């Protein structure tokens, strides 16, 4: 190895990379793959991610800070949708690189909206075509890529499958070449900027998204009322409050003889134990708080819009 190479390896690098795209294209799945650990919740329903979340990947002298964002979407009628779009848009500036994630050969008006937002950015934009495992006829991929490439000057186009990891290493190596020299922003053992309390509420929300019917998840949010560490055993005692908008929704979350909320609690506790690496005692309650998703002040008190 040359002296120059040895010298370069000892220089600290750090930079921010935004992951943007419309809802449900696989941004959070990609972030989890890039980190090799699950920190961002995912589900088959659109608009699972509601907050901006940082995923920190430190390898030797290099620290990459990925910004996972809520999916950008046209519908902005409700206060919650406005805040989600704002959180996503604010992450577009001041980064080293943007990963624009789209889904196979499927293109929608929301994708067009994202392209418009990216039109004037100063940093390079990498087009990431996700879910290629779902594209049956691969011959359609090339003309599709050619068509999208006319809409924006992409630095490169990488087809991937975030679900099974295909192509993710290529993204990692491209990201590395865009890191400026500089001190690490976070301690090397950090994987996210978010508190354990926040992660606990997200894990519960993921189970609500996954186990409730198609419409209900958008009327539900979670507040952590208690987060205590038992000093003797190290066990976490967590109380979560599930807020819904109407009485009928409360019944649906609880389920027949409490079976639904029990399932949500069991699955959330399992994930929490894995994430926190300790035993967890979790209790869940459901409460009606009408109109929480339309009221910007109520949303702020629930932690929305701080992003
Ligand atoms: N087949 C397939 N499914 C994928 C792939 N990546 C993600 N998915 C699925 O797509 C759905 C959405 O993934 P998410 O990671 O939650 O998508 P997102 O873009 O973060 O969604 P929002 O939170 O709505 O912005 C989930 O059901 C994932 O399992 C992939 O490479 N292949």
Phi, psi of 108 (to 5 degrees): -130, 175
Q: How far is the centre of ligand 1, averaged over its atoms, from the C-alpha of 295 (Å)?
A: 28
Residues of the chain with pLDDT under 50: 7
Cβ(69)–Cβ(87) below 8 Å: yes
Q: How far is the centre of ligand 1, averaged over its atoms, from the C-alpha of 46 (Å)?
A: 9
The pair of structure tokens assigned to 86 is 């704002």
Cβ(23)–Cβ(87) below 8 Å: no
Protein residue with least CA distance to atom 13, ligand 1: 26
Work out the angle between the directed axes of helices 259-276 and 196-211 (0-180°, nearest 10).
Answer: 140
Q: Among 20, 24, 67, 75, which is best to mutate for testing ligand 1, by the most ligand atoms less than 8 A from CB? A: 24
Predicted pLDDT of residue 97: 96
Establish whether residue 106 lines the binding site of ligand 1, counting it when its CB lies within 6 angstroms of any ligand atom.
no
Cα–Cα distance measured from residue 75 to residue 258, given in angstroms and rounded to the nearest whole number: 34
Q: How far is the centre of ligand 1, averaged over its atoms, from the C-alpha of 25 (Å)?
A: 5
Establish whether residue 136 lines the binding site of ligand 1, counting it when its CB lies within 6 angstroms of any ligand atom.
no
Establish whether residue 134 lines the binding site of ligand 1, counting it when its CB lies within 6 angstroms of any ligand atom.
yes
Predicted pLDDT of residue 76: 65
Predicted pLDDT of residue 84: 81
Establish whether residue 260 lines the binding site of ligand 1, counting it when its CB lies within 6 angstroms of any ligand atom.
no
Cα radius of gyration (the chain): 20
Work out the angle between the directed axes of helices 168-176 and 27-35 (0-180°, nearest 10).
Answer: 70
> Where does residue 41 rank: exposed (0-12), middle (13-18), buried (19+ CB within 10 A)?
buried
Predicted pLDDT of residue 191: 94
Predicted pLDDT of residue 216: 74
Predicted pLDDT of residue 46: 81
Could you report the per-residue pLDDT of 264-277, keeping only the tens digit for each? 999 999 999 999 99
Cα–Cα distance measured from residue 70 to residue 86, given in angstroms and rounded to the nearest whole number: 9
Establish whether residue 104 lines the binding site of ligand 1, counting it when its CB lies within 6 angstroms of any ligand atom.
no
The pair of structure tokens assigned to 280 is 């967890």
List the end-to-end C-alpha distance of the chain, in Å, as a whole number.
44
């Amino acid at each position: 190895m040359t002296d120059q190479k040895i010298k370069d390896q000892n220089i600290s690098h750090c930079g921010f990379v935004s992951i943007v795209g419309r809802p449900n294209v696989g941004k959070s799945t990609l972030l989890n793959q890039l980190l090799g650990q699950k920190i961002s919740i995912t589900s088959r329903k659109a608009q699972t991610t509601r907050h901006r979340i940082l995923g920190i990947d430190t390898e030797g002298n290099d620290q990459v800070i990925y910004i996972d964002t809520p999916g950008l979407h046209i519908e902005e009628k409700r206060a919650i949708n406005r805040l989600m779009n704002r959180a996503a848009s604010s992450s577009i500036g001041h980064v080293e690189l943007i990963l624009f994630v789209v889904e196979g050969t499927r293109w929608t008006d929301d994708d067009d909206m994202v392209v418009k937002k990216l039109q004037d950015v100063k940093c390079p934009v990498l087009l990431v075509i996700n879910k290629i495992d779902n594209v049956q006829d691969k011959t359609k991929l090339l003309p599709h890529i050619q068509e999208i490439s006319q809409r924006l000057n992409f630095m490169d186009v990488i087809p991937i499958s975030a679900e099974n990891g295909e192509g993710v290493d290529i993204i990692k190596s491209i990201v590395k070449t865009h890191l400026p020299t500089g001190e690490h922003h976070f301690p090397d053992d950090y994987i996210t900027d978010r508190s354990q309390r926040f992660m606990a509420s997200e894990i519960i929300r993921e189970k609500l998204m996954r186990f409730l019917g198609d419409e209900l998840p958008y009327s539900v949010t979670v507040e952590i009322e208690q987060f205590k560490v038992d000093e003797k055993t190290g066990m976490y005692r967590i109380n979560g409050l599930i807020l819904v908008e109407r009485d009928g929704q409360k019944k649906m979350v609880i389920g027949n003889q409490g079976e639904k909320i029990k399932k949500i609690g069991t699955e959330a506790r399992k994930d929490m134990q894995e994430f926190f690496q300790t035993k967890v005692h979790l209790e869940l309650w459901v409460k009606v708080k009408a109109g929480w998703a339309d009221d910007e002040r109520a949303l702020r008190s629930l932690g929305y819009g701080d992003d």
